Structure 1
Amino acid sequence: MTSTKILVAEDEEIMRITVVDHLRVYGWQVDEAENGNKALELIGQNNYQLLLSDIRMPGLDGEALLAEVKKLSPRTEVVMMTAHGSTDTAVNCLKNGAADYIQKPFDLDDLSFRIKRILEMQAIKARCVSLEHCGGQRRPLIGNSAPMQKVLNLISQVAGSDSSVLIQGESGTGKEIVAAAIHFESRRADKPYVRVNCAAIPDGLMESEFFGHEKGAFTGADKTSVGKFELADQGTILLDEIGDMPLDLQVKLLRVLQEKEIERVGGKQQIPINVRVLCSTAKNLAEEVKKGNFRQDLFYRLQVIPIELPALRDRPGDISLLADFFLQEFGQERGMMFKLSPEARQALENHSFPGNVRELRNLLERVSVLAPAPLIQLWDLPFELRGTQPEAASSEVPIAETLADAVADAEKKCILQALKKAGDNKTEAAAILGISRKNLWEKMKNYNL
């Protein structure tokens, strides 16, 4: 992982050398350019966190360079410096996107202080991006079973590299949590972590979502937009449900992985990026390759390091640990201390959990709301875990629980019928059901379809 990269654009040689040498003392990687044209060329080839530019230079002056940088590399902060400035000039530079403006002659320590402050703000923004995209997925990985210990050891091994990782496993096994663990144990932990759900983005918007677009690229594009890959620059991007990516976009993704540069929709400039790519899917990509639904070359490019997550039924010894963790979490939210009776614990351990860890968590959240006491008994669990029939135990079950189960069952059947009618085409199935594709995907994930 490279250190912070700074570009100094200054036509006066003595001034340029003085500033460059001073900034290198702080361990920053500093490049130099003798004019605006050379600076713009370097920006097109490298990822710079900051540009320090004189305003008056031969060829492309500082203000024109600022405008070009904001189009080519919006996340690069720009500090303008000049010996011929005025208040109006300073205001114009700040209005046009400069992070700071400094008058020559200046104190070098003051300059380095300003740069440190800007870099600290960049780090804060990166953490905000990570929190926004990681959301509730940054959870601990729990399990003492041999399959989970193997996964945990593999995470520790791969976290230190920049290799692509393909995380496969059934729905609800915790693929997103594994991806977050890899990022936050890596050298990129203080850089952005961006998660993109490939199944939830309409096909027509996916390229723009990934790579951004230029102003006027299509109807409604009233300004330049930065895509997820640019947003994740220097950090990590998770392509969740990669198996649902359209073939035409797979070609462009393969090129991005090989060339390490992107091109915005409607743009002509190649933008260099430094992003670690993690992918997750509940599909068997090898089978998808055989069916012609996934490119073989992209599959091999993504599967540099494969991680296969075990289903919960293959590690039943972890069910009790997970149950205690989730009940503690829900108890803290409600100011209670939930515990499982021996009979309830045994019933959980005997269940196959086709929805895996997500099903267990959702079940315990529901039980923690509906249970009449902190000690959760066998009869507080759903019928399928107790081994009794609803008719035989109907007098013991709250009406609200039975109604919720009935509604969920009916909704699940409707979704399955729509998918069958549409030949598993999610867009067409969503249209049949009268809901959005994203809404359909969320419901399918909730029901483990």
Structure 2
Amino acid sequence: MTPRILVAEDEEIMRITVLDHLRSQGWSVEEAATGSAALELVKKNRYELILSDIRMPGLDGEKLLAEVKRLAPRTEVIMMTAHGSTDNAVACLRQGAADYILKPFDLDDLTFRINRLLEMQTIKARCVSLEHCCGKRRPIIGSSPPMQKLLSLISQVALSDSSVLIHGESGTGKELVAAAIHFESRRANKPYVRVNCAAIPAGLMESELFGHEKGAFTGADRTATGKFELADQGTILLDEIGDMPLELQVKLLRVLQEKEIDRVGGRNPIPIDVRVLCATSKNLAEEVQGGRFRQDLFYRLQVIPVEVPPLRLRGGDILELTDFFLREFGRERGLCFQLSADARRALEHYPYPGNVRELRNLLERISVLAPAAKIQLWDLPVEIRGGSPERENEEDNLAAAVARAERRCLDRVLEKTGGNKTEAAALLGISRKNLWEKLKQYER
């Protein structure tokens, strides 16, 4: 997106000269002849940078700076000053100005300063995204037809700025889909901010989303920037949107329609440019029927609906996901995990009511508790093996019970000897040949 710059300068020749030069650099530039006119533009529009003279009729540069920092704290301000007013420029730096430049100045020097500040804005935006996504962004794994269809839809959806409603059962990976949409979009280098609506107390959610002014309520000892402002020019994910209180749904609808927010205790709306993604495991149509979700907001959010399929409908992806997670846990523990043929079949045929999250947690538990790097059928929970927890200690077949105990004994001894079969045979009190035959029998 082309950066927008506002030039506030009362001297017409200087203003036109700077405007022509900045526009020749490919930037979108607007002008204001007074501080008051500049302030009105700031209230209506979003600017990456403001270039302002310190001394202007009406509202001077220092007062304009204070208002800009209040209304749009992420907008950078460069102050233009004559040689005799450098003290004022230094005072502006203390109040939040990013830089100052002495008149008359070299236009190429001005270009260099602006480029530096815009590059810093990009770095800050990426830091915001990293803060919210570090350790949480994962690749979307799956070659099954439902997942290939979903990946294709993600690529299409990413091209637009329309609102997206991502629906799916708990544990299907809705956050991964939202992240993929953002990082494939033209906003990929801008902030990506995630908010879990179910995790924020209702009384704090408005301030969390929209920010608040100093003194807006008891304990508000400073102005706070909300998640929507942090996501300006980027993307915000409202996870578990179905848990948002009704009174806040009204305010969210206004934000989507007007593209501006009101801080708690604020006097003026703040323009924003944010793409909104929402995710929920609830059926919002049923929530609307039950009076728990606003119908107008539902239709406004569901411009593009995206359904994430449950794992039971992605049978071909189970082993692919299993191998991916086992490699991940293996790297953490310095091991190379493998699955026996029986274990793979058992994992592939389990229905996974908790979806991908359940599979991942299951494999993490197995990777910690399994006695050896090769995971056997008996290392899996009883419900995965086809039994039931109530019958875990029951065994109708004596041979099967003996075989299970023998396998576990072999695994423990091999782990103890570090895989040395000669030492293992000695500890077990059997010949090395007999040990080899048992290992072959149990696919070890």
**Structure 1 and Structure 2 fold alike (TM over 0.5):** yes
**Structure-2 residue corresponding to 1:5:** 4
Letter in 1 for 2:251: K
**Length-normalised TM-score, structure 2:** 0.87
How far residue 387 of structure 1 moved from its aligned partner, in angstroms, is 2.6
1:5-404 → structure 2 map (5 Å cutoff): 5-388=4-387, 389-392=391-394
Q: Is the 8 A contact 1:85 1:103 kept in 2?
A: no
Higher alpha-carbon deviation: 134-143 or 318-327? 134-143
Secondary structure class of the residue paired with 1:167? strand
Distance 2:248 2:83 in 1: 49
How far did 1:373 drift? 2.2
CA distance in 2 between counterparts of 1:260 and 1:85 reads 42
Superposition CA RMSD, Å: 1.6
Query: Which is further off, 385-394 or 141-150?
Result: 385-394
d(CA) in 2 for partners of 1:180, 1:316 = 24
The Cα shift of 1:273 comes to 0.8
State the TM-score, normalizing by the size of structure 1: 0.86
Secondary structure of the structure 1 residue equivalent to 2:193: strand
Separation in 2, partners of 1:207, 1:173: 28
Deviation at 1:232, TM superposition (A): 0.6
1:110-144 deviations in whole A, cap 9, x for unaligned?
A: 11111111111111111111111123332111111
- Asked if structure 1 preserves the Cα contact closer than 8 Å seen for 2:81 and 2:89, the reply is no
The structural deviation recorded for 1:328 is 1.3
Structure 1: which amino acid aligns with 2:142?
A: G
Specify whether residues 257 and 176 from structure 1 end up closer, same or farther in structure 2 by C-alpha distance, changes over 3 A only. same
Q: After the TM superposition, which of the residue ranges 181-190 and 105-114 deviates more from structure 2?
A: 105-114
- In the TM superposition, residue 86 of structure 1 has moved relative to its aligned partner by 4.4
The one-letter amino acid of 2:8's match is A
The CA distance in 2 between the partners of 1:359 and 1:281, in whole Å, is: 18
User: C-alpha deviations, 1:215-260, integer Å up to 9, x for none?
Assistant: 1000000111111111111110000000000000001111111111
User: Is the 8 Å Cα contact of residues 47 and 273 (structure 1) preserved in structure 2?
Assistant: yes
| Residues 43-64 of structure 1: CA deviation (Å, up to 9, x unaligned) | 1111101111110111111111
Q: Is the 8 A contact 2:197 2:240 kept in 1?
A: yes
Mapped to 2, the partners of 1:85 and 1:145 lie a distance apart of 71
Q: Matched residues in 2 for 1:355 and 1:390: separation? A: 21
**2: CA distance, partners of 1:239 / 1:340:** 38
Count how many residue pairs are aligned between Structure 1 and Structure 2: 397
Between the aligned partners of 2:292 and 2:32, the Cα distance in structure 1 is: 47
Contact persistence 1:55–1:61 (CA under 8 A): yes
- Superposition deviation, residue 372 in structure 1: 2.4
User: For residues 152-203 of structure 1, what are the alpha-carbon distances to aligned partners after superposition, in whole Å with 9 as ceiling and x for unaligned?
Assistant: 1110111000000000000000000000000000000011101000000000
Identity of aligned residues (%): 76
Q: Helix, strand or coil: the match of 1:7?
A: strand
Shift of 1:364: 1.0
Structure 1: runs of 5 or more not aligned: 399-449
Task: Assess if the C-alpha contact under 8 Å between 2:141 and 2:317 holds in 1.
Answer: yes
Aligned-partner SS, 1:214? coil
CA distances 1:298-330 after superposition (whole Å, capped 9, x unpaired)? 000000000111110111110001111111122
The answer for unaligned runs of 5 or more in structure 2 is 396-400, 409-444
| Structure exhibiting the larger radius of gyration computed from Cα positions | 2
